[in-house]
Each structure stands twice: as C-alpha cells, then as structure tokens.
C-alpha cells in the first residue's frame, strides 16, 4: 500500500478532481490524503455554482502541519490537478519539496489541467504559466492532447512524432490522453524515457442531448499513478488506466448518468476486463 497526497478540486455533487481521484486511489488499495484547491457544490458544467477557491496559504499551512507531525515521510507520491489561482502552484511546489525532503523516493505526478478540445484554454494565462512551471518539475505528466500541445508548443502529426516530443519533456514518464485515433476510437500515448507506447479504446458518446461524464482525466491520472505504485510497468499501467476509464465512461452513459458511476461500478477500477493491445515504438 502506498500513500498519495492529492491536491486538486473538490465537489460535493459529482465525480471530478479529488472526488474522482481519491475514490480510485482507495479502491486500488492505497491511502489518499486529499487537499482541495477549490470547494464547489458541483462542477461548472452545470451552470451557476456555489463555492470557490481555497486560499493558497491555507493549502500550504495544512501540508506544513502534516510535515510538522512527521507524516510526510510516509508519503510515496504527490498528485496535483486543477489549480484555481497562481498561488496554488506555489503551494503545490512547496508540498512536493516537503514530501521529497521527507522521502527522496517519492514521485510527483502533475496533471497539467489547462483546457481541452474543442473549447481550448479554460484557465487564465497566469495559471497556465504556473502550471507549466510545475510540469517542468514533475516526475510524471498526464496531459490531454490539447494540453500536450500547450506544453510542447507543437501539434504533432502522428503518434511517432508525439512520442518523440514527449521524450523531449523533463518528466521521466509522460502519458498523453485523448490522442487522435481512427473514427470511433481514442488513443493514449506514453513514454518512459526509453520506449513509447500507444493504445486505443472505443469512444463512448452519450445520446443526443445527453452529457458525457466529466472527470475522466482525473480518474485516468489517479489509476495510472496507483498502478505504477503497485509495481506495474508503464505499458501495463497505461493499458489498465485506459481500460478502466473507458469502461466506466461506457457504463455511466449506458446508465443514463451524467457523472461517473464510480461507487456503483467500482469493480471496473480494479478489473476493467479485457485490456487493449499496446503498440510499442
């Protein structure tokens, strides 16, 4: 069992940010210490919401309190997700520094949440700049295809070009979600510094007028990190994370859910069924 410090958004209703990642981490047998960057009634996709950002100073003081107790030496990894203000990046950087000082073997996974297709960037420029600084410090990066382009400054022409670009980033491991694939499918790519890997799953869309579940990136990152911490190599962690995410999206849509049905279908986090094949570059 590993212990993961997860710094991301928190909602009361729904399954995004820590509300998705925390459950998946625990379902895979790890302990999670969840710290919110924002606390909202629900994600903004539903319209007007109540709640707002957690002060960066409070985030930093909460983690400093864990450090003062000597507990950070038990922490095996830090994962950061949605940041609502630039100061949150400073709090994350401080947390990573504290954890690595207490446990030099600890990993830092940065999910560089900045935007997505088709709407593009949905954070302020100063937050994008702060996220890029965190990404440069990460051991593991999990951008979506849009965010990958923002990090590298390029839009690769194919998987081979994307994998070469991913190897140019500072992170030891890079996993890129929502990569282009043939019609009706979606790809994920990963590199571990030596080799590149690519896998595909089916695209599952809601019926006309329906809403696809949010939080899939948070879920993928949590499963991917959890699998790595249980000893899976990068291609196996990639296959399991993509399969579990796809299976949960499919089951949630088929149940008419606009949110990931994590509690109902939690078995898919552990066992998604048949794993997709892995192409090695």
The reported pLDDT for the residue numbered 146 is 96
- The boundaries of the domain holding residue 63 are 3-280
CATH assignment of the domain containing 223: 3.40.1190.20
Contacts 24+ apart (CB under 8 A), 11-15: 11/39, 11/40, 11/41, 11/42, 11/43, 12/39, 12/40, 12/41, 12/42, 13/41, 13/42, 13/259, 14/42, 14/43, 14/214, 14/215, 14/259, 15/213, 15/214, 15/215, 15/219, 15/259, 15/260, 15/262
Domains: count for the chain: 1
Q: What is the pTM of this model?
A: 0.97
Q: What phi and psi values does residue 260 have, to the nearest 5 degrees?
A: -60, 125
Instruction: Identify any residues that bridge with 200 across adjacent strands, giving them in sequence order.
Output: 187
Q: What is the pLDDT of residues 23-51, one digit of tens each?
A: 999 999 999 999 999 999 999 989 999 99
Query: Tell me, what's the pLDDT at 249?
Result: 98
Residues 6 or more apart from 277 whose CB is under 8 A from it?
A: 199
> Are the beta carbons of 209 and 167 closer than 8 angstroms?
no
In order of 20, 38, 158, 222, the CA distances from 16 in angstroms are: 5, 11, 30, 11
Q: Which helix (H) or strand (E) holds 189?
A: strand 185-191
Low-confidence ranges of the chain (pLDDT < 70): none
Q: Are strands 51-53 and 31-40 parallel, antiparallel or unpaired?
A: antiparallel
Tell me: cis bond preceding 118? Omega within 30 of 0 counts.
Answer: yes
């Amino acid at each position: 069992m590993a212990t993961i410090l997860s710094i991301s958004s928190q909602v009361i209703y729904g399954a995004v940010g820590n509300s998705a990642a925390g459950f998946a981490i625990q379902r895979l047998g790890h302990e999670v210490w969840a710290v919110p960057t924002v606390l909202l009634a629900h994600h903004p996709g539903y319209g007007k919401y109540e709640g707002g950002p957690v002060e960066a100073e409070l985030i930093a003081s909460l983690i400093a309190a864990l450090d003062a107790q000597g507990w950070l030496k038990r922490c095996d990894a830090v994962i950061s997700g949605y940041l609502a203000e630039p100061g949150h990046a400073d709090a994350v950087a401080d947390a990573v520094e504290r954890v690595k000082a207490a446990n030099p073997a600890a990993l830092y996974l940065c999910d560089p949440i900045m935007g997505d297709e088709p709407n593009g960037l949905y954070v302020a420029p100063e937050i994008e700049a702060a996220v890029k600084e965190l990404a440069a410090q990460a051991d593991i990066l999990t951008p979506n295809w849009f965010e990958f382009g923002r990090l590298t400054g390029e839009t690769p022409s194919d998987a081979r070009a994307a994998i070469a670009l991913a190897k140019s980033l500072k992170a030891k491991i890079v996993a890129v979600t929502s990569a282009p694939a043939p019609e009706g499918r979606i790809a994920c790519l990963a590199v571990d510094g030596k080799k590149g890997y690519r896998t595909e799953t089916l695209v599952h869309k809601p019926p006309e007028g329906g809403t696809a579940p949010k939080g899939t990136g948070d879920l993928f990152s949590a499963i991917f990190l959890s699998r790595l911490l249980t000893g899976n190599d990068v291609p196996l962690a990639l296959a399991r994370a993509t399969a579990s995410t796809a299976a949960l999206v499919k089951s949630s849509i088929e149940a008419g859910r606009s949110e990931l049905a994590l509690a109902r279908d939690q078995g898919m986090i552990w066992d998604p069924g048949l794993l997709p094949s892995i192409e090695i570059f």
